[in-house]
Structures are given as C-alpha cells and as structure tokens.
Amino acid sequence: QKEVEQNSGPLSVPEGAIASLNCTYSDRGSQSFFWYRQYSGKSPELIMFIYSNGDKEDGRFTAQLNKASQYVSLLIRDSQPSDSATYLCAGANSGGSNYKLTFGKGTLLTVNP
Amino acid sequence: DAGITQSPRHKVTETGTPVTLRCHQTENHRYMYWYRQDPGHGLRLIHYSYGVKDTDKGEVSDGYSVSRSKTEDFLLTLESATSSQTSVYFCAISELSGGAGETQYFGPGTRLLVL
C-alpha cells in the first residue's frame, strides 16, 4: 500500500512567520511530488511540484525533496492570513507515467494576523 | 479550473436511487479522474480514464461505475446510492508539465448527500 503521510495539524503561525509543512512517503519509486492548497469548500489548486532532490523556489513558496529520507516539505515565507487553508501533499506512482497520485490527508494551516 | 466543469454542483438524493455525475473538459486532455473527499480520509481515487472507452479502477471503486464515450466527458454513476457515498466528488484532468510528467488539475466539485 503506497502511503503519503502528513501531520493533520492544525498548524498555527503568526503573520509574517515561516510555515513549514511536512510529508513522508512510503513508495521509494515515487518520482514526482505535488503540493496543493485547498480553501474550505473549494477544490484543490496546484501550488507547485518537485521531482529532483533539493529545493525549488516559487515566490514565497519553497518545496524541498529528500528522496533518501522519503521526505517532502513546503515552506511558506512571510505567511499571510490568506495562506490559511489545508495543504495536500501528493506523490506520483512509480513505474511509468505518473498518471495516478496518492494524496496525504492534508495539513490545516492557520495564519494569525 | 483548467477548463473543467462538473454537474450538478449539489445534489440530494435518496438511498437506492441511481445518480450520475458529469465532468466536462474543454481542453482535450487524455487523462481524467474521479475522486471523493471525506473528512479523515483525504482524496481517494475512484476511477480514472486514459482515453475514450478506456477506464480503470482506483482504490475505492466499489459501488461506482464510469463511462467515457467522448474525450470531453467523463461520467460517474452510483447505480444504487448509499449513505456511505455521501461525499464531495472531484473530477480532475492531467496535463504534461515539464519534468514532472502529468500534473493534475481539479474541477469545482459536486456535493452529494444521500439520505
């Protein structure tokens, strides 16, 4: 059973702080990882993806991947109240095209003004 | 929403009745997916399609069937709805993203309540 584990939270940070969201995965063959943001009552929206070891930055967001430790993280710098949402981590299946994703249950982030 | 619509957006039905949810895309993507999302379970794949008339099961396919007769439409049918199928249903498409392979984008969702 391929699993993606996330701390369900809630994670609470003050405005302007760095929020750190973590994810571990069981399938060593997983190639790519995705972070989605989901506001309450809305659909998941893609924030960014990462497939190489190391860091990938996009604006205030940085994704980190460590394949040896089977660990993915998302850092949000200068957190804003509008970042308050559930963040979903997903890993792409191994063995060919990553057309199926396994999702974690999500981490609820609250950014306090 | 990557050109994805779902209908209906909300539905209330009774146990034992058939229900069909529709997902429509405007961008000719090959892969389409149906997920359900429940508290404590996250997003779980029900069925997916990799082309017209080509479908396969996901991890929670029991009680559901799908059809794809046209590239743009992917239908999810609950043959005889049960209360355990009360959920939020999301359709997704995937498109190639440089280096990451297929990246999935979600429709707005359908809230289904089975009484």
Rounded CA separation B67/A36 (Å): 27
Question: How far is it, in rounded angstroms, from Cα A106 to Cα B66?
Answer: 27
Round the average pLDDT of chain B to a whole number and report it: 93
**CB-CB: which of B40, B41, B101 is closest to A97?**
B101
Residues 7-66 of chain A with CB under 8 A from chain B are: 31-32, 34, 36, 42-46, 49-52
Q: Name every chain B residue with its beta carbon within 8 A of the beta carbon of A94.
A: none
- Chain B: give the shortest CA distance to residue A83, in Å: 19
Answer whether residue A82 shows pLDDT above 80.
Answer: yes
Closest CA of chain A from B12, distance in Å? 17
Mutation choice for A interface testing from B43, B54, B59 by most A CBs within 10 A: B43
Q: How far apart are CA B73 and CA A108, in angstroms?
A: 33
For B47-98, how does the pLDDT look when each residue is reduced to its tens digit (9 = 90+)?
999 889 999 999 999 999 999 999 999 999 999 999 999 999 999 998 877 6
CA-CA distance, B115 to A19, in Å (whole number)? 40
User: Which residue in B has a C-alpha nearest to residue A99's C-alpha?
Assistant: B102
pLDDT digits (tens, 9 = 90+) for A28-71: 888 889 999 999 999 999 999 999 999 999 999 999 999 999 99
Which among B44, B45, B100 has the least Cβ separation from residue A32?
B100
DSSP for A50-100? E-SSEEEEETTEEEEEETTTTEEEEEESS--GGG-EEEEEEEEPSSS----
Pick from B31, B99, B106: which is nearest to A99 by CB?
B31
